[in-house]
Amino acid sequence: MIWTPATARAARRIATAAALGGGGVTALGAAMYVLLNAEAMVARKLVGRPHGMDGPASDGLYGEWPAHAGGEPARPITMVMLGDSTSVGLGVTDPADTPAVIIANGLAAAAGRPVRLDVFGRSGAISADLSHQVDRALKTRPEIAVIFVGANDVTAKVKPADAVGHLREAVARLREAGAEVVVGTCPDLGTIRPIAQPLRWVTQRWSRQLAAAQTVAVIEEGGRTVAFADVLGPEFATYPGEMFGPDRYHPSARGYQRSAYVVLPSVCAALGIGPEAEPERGEGSQSIYLAAAKAAEESGTEVTATHVAGRATGPHGRWAMILRRRPGAMPRSA
């Protein structure tokens, strides 16, 4: 795993600023700022909106409805999906291909109970939009909330601390209501081909720093994170024609399937379904900032809070642990 101490330091600065209500943004020279804006305009034009702004309607009941021993039907698990276009499956037409439905079906199979799914994510959403989404989600009394957010904060040049602060508030409200929370952190936008250099390098740096800071905030509020990092592994780099949709920005049905498979084990674990994963050798309890920085560099890693000698915090902040629950490699389509 390749990571830099600078990412850990940046995560700490951003997360601290978010907790204190500060702003904070990477400083850029005037000439570089103008260049990046120009590159961003070109990228937006190349990506366009070939899929419109809506994903397929995915709310509903998923999985079989078995009866308990006494004959009463099993109560469904209530799940909500929040976030941006990746949370709604923008670009696919069949609800079964959206990450929310794939996760719901997988959770239902693992739990032996149906899952009641409500999707409140919105294409184009930034972290500030989570507040309204949480307002709606809490009306369903969710047991598990899954959040995919961060990419639009980077492309819209939202101050990192502002974005993280909104995510922290959303997770805190969901946790206070009794919901478990799993957040898919900001993907590495440096892998998106329509984004040219030097914008690609800058967005890579920003997105990884944001992902690390998101991890710190989510763990501190009692949630779990799963790193999307380099857009979910070697399949995206090796088979971009299969993993990305026509706009080369949003995932294809296969790409969404991969993202859902990465998150599903952590969703099950958050609800106490299935065995807990063990940390890999050399990845025991460590500072949350160090764990967040490492996770931001490798897709599929989960970060969760832990204790050392009965204590939740150490000399460098909260203790955290990196887990890897990645599924086996997906078969290549014919």
Instruction: Spot the catalytic one: 51, 58, 84, 85.
Output: 85
Domains in the chain with CATH codes = 5-324 (3.40.50.1110)
| pLDDT tens digits for range 38-67 | 455 544 554 445 445 677 899 999 997 766
Query: How far apart are alpha carbons 145 and 139 in whole angstroms?
Result: 13
| pLDDT tens digits for range 74-120 | 789 999 999 998 899 988 889 999 999 999 999 999 999 999 999 99
| 131: annotated active-site residue | no
| 316: annotated active-site residue | no
* pLDDT block averages, 10 residues each, the chain of length 334: 58 62 47 48 48 78 74 84 92 91 95 95 94 98 96 82 94 98 83 53 71 90 84 49 52 80 91 73 68 71 77 71 60 40
| pLDDT at site 140 | 97
**C-alpha separations of 88 from 51, 57, 81, 271 in Å:** 12, 8, 8, 22
Return the residue matching tokens 């390749």. Answer: 2
| 333: annotated active-site residue | no
Query: How far apart are alpha carbons 298 and 2 in whole angstroms?
Result: 8
pLDDT above 90 covers a percentage of the chain that reads: 34
Is the CA virtual torsion 53, 56, 58, 62 positive or negative?
A: negative
| pLDDT at site 151 | 83
Q: What is the dihedral of CA 37, 38, 41, 47, to 10 degrees?
A: -110
| pLDDT tens digits for range 60-84 | 999 977 666 566 677 899 999 999 9
Beta bridge partners of 225: 183, 303
Instruction: Spot the catalytic one: 207, 250, 252, 287.
Output: 250
